[in-house]
Chains A and B, each alone.
Chain A
Amino acid sequence: MDTKIQNQKGWLFVLPALALVALNAVIPLMAVVNYSVQETFSSNIFFFEGVKWFEQVLHSERFHAALARQLTFCAIILAIEVPLGVAIALAMPRRGPWVSVCLVLMALPLLIPWNVVGAMWNIFALPDVGMLGRTLKNLGVDYNYTQQPLAAWATMIAMDVWHWTSLVVLLAYAGLSAIPDAYYQAARIDGASSWAIFRYVQLPKMRRVLTIAILLRFMDSFNIYTEVLALTGGGPGNATTLLSIDLVKIALGQFDLGPAAAMSLIYFLIILLFSWVFYTVITRGEEAR
């Protein structure tokens, strides 16, 4: 006989969370799935279309271009923010009164609302009025982010680096603070150079937090919308039209709900795929040790 007490009341505790997840994630996602396989013209009449929208999106030049821009953006900001964040974390004091000062300063950009960040940089970089734009002009640099694609990209990347490097810094700093003093002492006794200490003590110990930092930064930058919209609106032309901006243009600008829904699903799957591959590669590496 099974003597275990069967108590199904436990499910009641999970119910609120389940309801919340259903309302804000599962149901909207299912609605998108629904749109992605149907055609609608007006007055809520739908026709089933199968995978037509998916084929259309996957073959469209426009989608390819937006995806390429998106991936370039993610690659560049990861390549800048991760090393820079680690470098700043290494330079921060480990103890003393300056620790909290540094931490608060580092956390400030993270606290600013995203659209405010975009608006700030928009004004800051304006060619004739903004502090950055004006200074560059006075220095003789031909810089106008509202007209030059390269300048727009540079501004967009500078903004993201300013906004998000702190996150990498805070995570890396947490990883560094968790290393016991004995490791540094042993390394000094073993005559290790500061580079060797970084390579063989600090970097391996930061591995986990850096994995998290890279994952978070990848997912967030792949989803970026608000800041870029406030800064450039996707321009000049389509130069900074990243995936999310393009998606909103299709969905709300042109009101092509079917293709937009198909595109969001593809978008979602790409993030899922990248994150999964990245996570497995990193954790595999960990297990193999």
Chain B
Amino acid sequence: MATITLENVRHTYAPRPRGPQDWALKGIDLVWSDGGAYALLGPSGCGKTTLLNIISGLVRPTKGRVLFDDADLTDVPTDQRHIAQVFQFPVIYDTMTVYANLAFPLRNRRVPPAEIERTVRDIAHMLDLETELERRASRLTADAKQKISLGRGLVRSDVNVIMFDEPLTVIDPHVKWQLRSKLKELHRRTRRTMIYVTHDQTEALTFADKVVVMHDGMVVQTGSPVELFERPRHTFVGHFIGSPGMNVLPCRLENGAAYIGETRVAIENPPVRALDSQRLAIGVRPEFVTLAEAGLPVSIVRVSDAGRCRIVEARLGDSRIRLLAEDSVSIPDGSAFVRFDPARTRLYADDCLVE
């Protein structure tokens, strides 16, 4: 059990990196506290797996350090780091039984047989694999195989962190939910640090206490699911989390007040000092935009039904804006006015929240 610290970790796969585009990770500072349930969220190719492999030691970072508590483990090989990892596709040892699969990490570490027996039965019980113990692992379904991969991490008592690299990709949708709640339950029972990599916001938000959002080799925000939703610190987080994502509307500042077109918009974070940034924008989630008698003039383009509510798509000048409307609200044809909730409307300079 340990706190894991990444210190200015940078990584490139190019032998001679030229520009920032060659870096898969562009300077990451993160602390994973012991016992936390983390999600690492980001689109494909943003460096999530690289970051995971750096923690597990499968990849050595080009620059920076990896610390477990106070020990520098940057150059320590994988098998001495006391970590476990579950991969995207279930990795099992085909020729072994389920029992032998679960016992494998312990046998390799020369744990006494009696203890192996006890631990394996215990973990099999937790994972509902007790009845399958004597079966060939290769004959099980994909989700049972994925449970075995997870079990191989859980049997070891010395594991600092269990990492999941998009582990539910190959699992049927109706079993996904079960496995996810199983993971959550296991986390509560074992109190092991877990890091869950995914590009699926639902998975990340339901599993984790803390979500780390990555974009283009950088961490753009770390926070609880609520914080990410309520107060995105980067327009990317606004886009990526929430469905539909946050509206980002170009604006300008005049005497400290924000204007879209000719209309003044009240914002939660008026800048306290002069901004020297080129691109200013207002970010507001569709949940906090309402149709009103007066306000910003828009023309409604499309209304689509999303079950409990409707998504209204409208044009505002040159940009597009979306809002959610309850079923009871009548939606006018053509032109209308919208209002933003001032407490949830924020100014972004060069994609970053103005603070």
Contacts and interface: CB of A to CB of B under 8 A. Distances in A.
B96 A200 contact: yes
**Which of B53, B78, B91, B139 has the most A CB atoms < 10 Å from its CB?**
B91
B139 A189 contact: no
B93 interface: yes
B93 A204 contact: yes
A192 B58 contact: no
A156 to B, nearest CB: 36
B58 to A, nearest CB: 5
B95 A189 contact: no
A183 interface: yes
Given A182-B91, A189-B83, A196 B108 contact: yes
Interface in B95-144: 95-96, 104-105, 108-109, 136, 138-139
A191 B105 contact: yes
Given A182-B87, A185-B58, A192 B95 contact: no
B79 A180 contact: no
Interface string A190-220: 1111001000110011000000000000000
A185 B85 contact: yes
B14 to A, nearest CB: 16
A289 B84 CA distance: 27
B89 interface: yes
Contact of A183 (B84, B91, B104, B153): B91
Interface string B142-157: 0000000100110000
Contacts of A205: 94
Contacts of B50: none
Given A289-B136, A289-B139, A180 B89 contact: yes
Interface in B228-254: none
Given A186-B149, A190-B105, A190-B108, A200 B93 contact: yes
A193 B89 CA distance: 22
B152 A190 contact: yes
A183 B53 CA distance: 14
Given A188-B58, A193-B108, A289 B87 contact: no
Contacts of B104: 190, 192, 200
Given A188-B79, A189-B79, A190-B152, A204 B94 contact: yes
Main secondary structure of the interface of B (DSSP, over half): mixed
B94 A289 contact: yes
Nearest to B86: A186
**Which of A180, A188, A191, A205 has the most B CB atoms < 10 Å from its CB?**
A191
Contacts of A196: 108
A52 to B, nearest CB: 51
B56 interface: yes
Contacts, number: 58
Nearest to B79: A191
B290 interface: no
A186 B164 CA distance: 12
A200 B97 CA distance: 12
Given A196-B108, A289-B138, A289-B139, A189 B84 contact: yes
A96 to B, nearest CB: 12
Contacts of A185: 53, 56, 58, 78, 85, 87, 91
Interface string B73-92: 00001110001110111010
B269 to A, nearest CB: 44
**Which of B79, B93, B104, B136 has the most A CB atoms < 10 Å from its CB?**
B93
A191 B89 CA distance: 20
A196 B93 CA distance: 11
A220 to B, nearest CB: 29
B111 to A, nearest CB: 11
Contacts of A289: 94-95, 136, 138-139
Contacts of B139: 289
A176 to B, nearest CB: 15
A200 B84 CA distance: 19
A189 to B, nearest CB: 5
Contacts of B91: 180, 182-183, 185-186
A24 to B, nearest CB: 41
B88 A182 contact: yes
Interface in B305-333: none
Given A188-B78, A190-B105, A182 B89 contact: yes
A204 B108 CA distance: 18
Contacts of B108: 190-193, 196
Interface in A105-124: none
**Which of A186, A188, A190, A204 has the most B CB atoms < 10 Å from its CB?**
A190
Interface in B44-65: 53, 56, 58
Contacts of B136: 289
A191 B106 CA distance: 9
Nearest to B87: A182
A217 B246 CA distance: 65
Nearest to A190: B105
Contacts of A193: 108
A185 B152 CA distance: 13
Contacts of B87: 182, 185-186
Given A189-B84, A289-B138, A204 B105 contact: no
A205 B94 CA distance: 8
B138 A189 contact: no
Interface string A17-57: 00000000000000000000000000000000000000000
25 contacts: A180-B89, A182-B87, A182-B91, A185-B56, A185-B78, A185-B87, A186-B87, A186-B91, A186-B149, A186-B152, A189-B84, A189-B105, A189-B153, A190-B105, A190-B108, A190-B152, A191-B105, A192-B104, A192-B108, A196-B108, A200-B95, A204-B95, A289-B94, A289-B136, A289-B138
Which 3 A-B pairs have CB atoms at the shortest separation, nearest pair first? A191-B108, A186-B91, A190-B105
